[in-house]
Structure 1
Amino acid sequence: MNSTSSGQNGSTPVRIYEKFGTIVGKNVTVVFLGITINYLNGMLVHTFRKHQVFYHNPRYILFIHLVVNDMIQLTVAITLFVCTYVFFTISTPLCCILLAFAIFTTLNTPLNLAVMAVECYIAVCFPLRHPQLHPISTEAE
């Protein structure tokens, strides 16, 4: 049985309509939480940039890299969420750029966590050779 016998050669997108109050509530909640989380992460970045002692420890450098990566990922995800409600269609280059940022930041997070784990492993298992393996640490001493 062929259910597309009415002459249509493809599928048409089905748009589910929600009430205006629901849409506004979702978007305000998501944007508010995103701004709050990005503000807290921004305070962490500000503290890192304010104190020079953090510049010499690889743990803090990797942590702040993870924080900045998460800020970018959260901003792009919120932008894509709001765009789905605001625009019916979006230009392809803009969509590709936003998706590229979302994909790269998503793939970058586990890599950063793995490097942090390796750095901690080196610090615990080779405590006497740690300054030799991390030349940044020797400059602080």
Structure 2
Amino acid sequence: MSNVSQSYTNMSIEVQYQDLMRVIIVSTLSTVPSFIFLFLNGTMLFTLRSKPVFRDTPRYILLYNLLFADTVQLAQSQLHYLLSVFKVKLPYPVCLCLSLLASLTTGISPLTLSVMPLERYVAVCYPLRYPTIITIRNTGAAIIVIWIISSLNNLTRLIFFFPFEMLKNLQEKDLCSNIALLLGTRSDQYDTAFTCLVFVSAGVAVIFSYIAVILAARLASANKALARKARNTLLLNMMQLCLSLCSTIYPPLLIALSRTVTRTVLSWVQNIFYVCFIILPRCLSSLIYGLRDRTVRPVLMCHLCCHQKLSL
């Protein structure tokens, strides 16, 4: 009888050891690239505040806002992911704050991407009026409006869907995630409607600006080089928008797969999806803009390589 008990004990220890190794490997595969891209994003944010030419140019101000929201979203997503992997349970108020922060920053990116194409549209189609339309003050006002819209979305979710009558009895008994907050199916429907509205608006802005830039490029009076550069930038905005949209299908995919695959398979698939749908969309802005923009690239490389600062 003692041999049987010892055998069960050894098997249990072995299973626990395998689970621990799986958790370490999975968390490492996601955490390492996440911290690398957090470093790159942080360096890009520092670069965009290091020179007056960046601080005083509207398109770089909009890029900073986009990159800041993506960086906060990446850090928050990585924290959520590690809490999930290591099965850490948090008090409901803390989990609610993390969820609201995620919802706030998630809406900032597509809203900013709906403004950036319009800035390029004005630059190409109305070059003489550009200095009076796209000013630092107007750009700041647009950014404030973006944050207000995303904040109002959070406030609406909290007021209309949070079960205040059950607040005293609420305890976080599951892992901290949006799924565990139990705001109800109406909240999911509202989130879906808001997400569709934001992404459709951003898509319309990008497509409208792209068509307008192409038509302007055919005119003899248009700046061909500026129009070509603006067209490539708008294509980049469209790609960023598609990547941001991909991040919204991450939870539904995991829910669907959790019903058909084993827990071990789900953990590996979750890691792959997390890298593809969460990490990559949040880091491509710094990589693409930093390496593509001739003004940003030398300063960014200088900071990454810890060389002496360049002067513009």
Q: Same fold (TM over 0.5)?
A: yes
Give per-residue Cα distances to partners, 1:47-104, cap 9 Å, x unaligned: 1121111111110000011111111000110100111122452211111111111111
Q: What does 1:43-82 correspond to in 2, within 5 Å?
A: 43-82=43-82
Are residues 1:19 and 2:10 paired?
no
Equivalent residue pairs, number: 121
Quick one: distance in 2 between partners of 1:88 and 1:36?
24
The 5 Å alignment of 1:87-106 reads 87-106=87-106
Instruction: Compute the RMSD of aligned alpha carbons.
Output: 1.8
Q: Does 1:135 align with 2:141?
A: no
Higher mean C-alpha deviation, range 49-58 or range 69-78 = 49-58
More helix by share: 2
Q: Determine the structure 1 residue equivalent to 2:279.
A: none
CA–CA separation in structure 2 for the residues paired with 1:60 and 1:48: 7
Q: Secondary structure, in 3 states, of the residue corresponding to 2:127?
A: coil
2-side partners of 1:76 and 1:134: how far apart? 32
1:9 equivalent in structure 2? none
For 1:9-45, what per-residue CA distance to the aligned partner results, in whole angstroms no more than 9, with x for missing partners? xxxxxxxx97221111111121111110010011111
**Any stretches of 5+ residues in structure 1 without a counterpart?**
1-16
Give the equivalent residue in structure 1 for 2:30: 30
After the TM superposition, which segments of 4 or more aligned residues of structure 1 sit over 4 Å from their partners?
none
For the Cα contact (< 8 Å) 2:58–2:135, is it kept in 1?
A: no
3-state DSSP of counterpart to 1:128: coil
